[in-house]
Amino acid sequence: MQAAVWHARRDIRVEEFPDPDAPAPDEVRLAISWCGICGTDLEEYTQGPLFIPPADKPNPITGRHAPMVIGHEFVGRVVRLGRDITDLKVGDRVAVDTLIHCGECPFCQRHQVHLCERLAIMGLMTDGGLAEYINAPRYMCFKYADGLSDAHAALAEPASVAVRSARRGRLTAGESVAVIGAGSIGLLTVEVARAMGAGKVIVVEPAESRRKVALELGASAAIDPRDGDPIDAVRRLTGGRGADVVFECAGITSTMALAPELARRAGRIVLVGLHDAPVPIRLVSVVTGEQELIGSFSHVYDEDFSAAVDMLSAGQILAEPLITAQIGLRDLVRCGLDELSASKDKHLKILVSPEG
């Protein structure tokens, strides 16, 4: 089969790769329909290996190391069943969660499988979905509605990140929300917040095109932080108090420092963006205002991912405005990774089909 194989930094090749073995008893084989390019894929291309195991350090669960097939935002059609699978049939269309957990560590025992001590992710620690075929464990696979297109269903994985962040923030109907950063995760957070009944959703984003999409997707207001003080703007829009829940989705020093300033007293600040550097945060308002700083990472397959699939299937999350390009697998590097590297702000989500 044809697959996108990570060999080294700046060396991803679309090439012939062995077909998957016969599915294990609890697995299904999928013919991939679409796979999204994640920011992590781009970082592995430009800066890796970050999560991809090098040849001398195979992943402890999968035993795999580079070179390997990348891609972890994919959907596909069932073409073969493991012998123990009775609740799926050939032809079913499924979105795939992709997180592999050990089932034995204290976090797995508490069903915090995304925090597994030996966590592996398909497309990063074992072969992923930028290929023609893949085998996936049954527990990862969730059917989606007949009326939902395969391309739109491919946003289930990033949508599940937004679902988890809303759950971590204990968002309830009627509460005010501020979302910092209107990339794909931030925009999906807007949609999830609206679906969960948020009373007001305020987006802070410098890019005009992304602010426009945020408003189209239900944001009450979209603030350009360069036009004035975003703290004053958010307080003005929330009766002088600040937002009940703030979601930081940009993952840069300045926005992470800004997040607590946008929240009300006793507000919750959910940190979604990944940032690996010290951040100067003014903690006096966190302490004296009894604010909560909450981390939110990835998703749990039968809590967040399943809910994201349901929201997409029900039309509560609209995927079309976030899809900025659809390309074939053979064009992955030139029209996908290199395009994102050169023009990241131009795109939200690029989808890749093995058939193109």
Token output for 315: 């039309």
Look at residues 254, 279, 295 and tell me which one is the last residue of a structural domain. Answer: 295
User: Which of 207, 281, 208 lies closest to 246, judged by CA?
Assistant: 281
CB atoms within 10 A of CB 25: 10
Give yes or no: residues 12 and 136 share one domain: yes
Task: Tell me if 112 is assigned to some domain.
Answer: yes
The verdict on 87 and 37 lying in the same domain is yes
Instruction: Please give the residue range of the domain that contains residue 192.
Output: 161-295
| CATH code of the domain in which 247 resides | 3.40.50.720
311 part of a folded domain? no
Number of structural domains in the chain: 2
- Is there a domain that residue 309 lies in? no
- The answer on 19 and 151 residing in a single domain is yes
User: How would you write the pLDDT of the chain (356 residues) with one tens digit per residue?
Assistant: 999 999 999 999 999 999 999 999 999 999 999 999 999 999 999 999 999 999 999 999 999 999 999 999 999 999 999 999 999 999 999 999 999 999 999 999 999 999 999 999 999 999 999 999 999 999 999 999 999 999 999 999 999 999 999 999 999 999 999 999 999 999 999 999 999 999 999 999 999 999 999 999 999 999 999 999 999 999 999 999 999 999 999 999 999 999 999 999 999 999 999 988 899 999 998 999 999 999 999 999 999 999 999 999 999 999 999 999 999 999 999 999 999 999 888 899 999 999 87
**Parallel/antiparallel/unpaired status of strands 93-96 and 141-143:** antiparallel
Same-domain status, 177 and 150: no
Tell me: do 150 and 191 sit in the same domain: no
Same domain, 91 and 225: no
Domain match, 24 and 146 both: yes
Instruction: Measure Cα distances from 320 to 313, 326, 327 in Å.
Output: 13, 11, 15
- List the CATH number of the domain containing 62: 3.90.180.10
Contact 76, 93 (CB under 8 A): yes
What tokens were used for 141?
Answer: 């696979």
Query: Does 149 share its domain with 7?
Result: yes
Pair 207, 238 in one domain: yes
Same domain, yes or no: 130 and 48: yes
Does residue 91 fall inside a structural domain?
Answer: yes
Indicate whether 312 belongs to any domain: no
- pLDDT tens sequence across 135-178: 999 999 999 999 999 999 999 999 999 999 999 999 999 999 99
Spatial separation of the C-alpha atoms in residues 227 and 216, rounded to whole Å: 21
CA atoms within 13 A of residue 283's CA, in its CB half-sphere = 4
Query: Distance between CA 190 and CA 218 in Å, rounded?
Result: 7
Residues 94 and 22 in one domain: yes
User: How many residues are present in the chain?
Assistant: 356
Q: Is the dihedral of CA 255, 257, 258, 264 positive or negative?
A: positive
- Tell me, yes or no, whether 176 and 276 share the same domain: yes
Q: How far from 287 is each of 124, 146, 178, 214, 270, CA to CA, in Å?
A: 38, 49, 20, 32, 16
pTM value is 0.96
Residue 212 covered by a domain: yes
- Residue 308 inside a domain? The answer is no
**Domain assignment present for 82:** yes
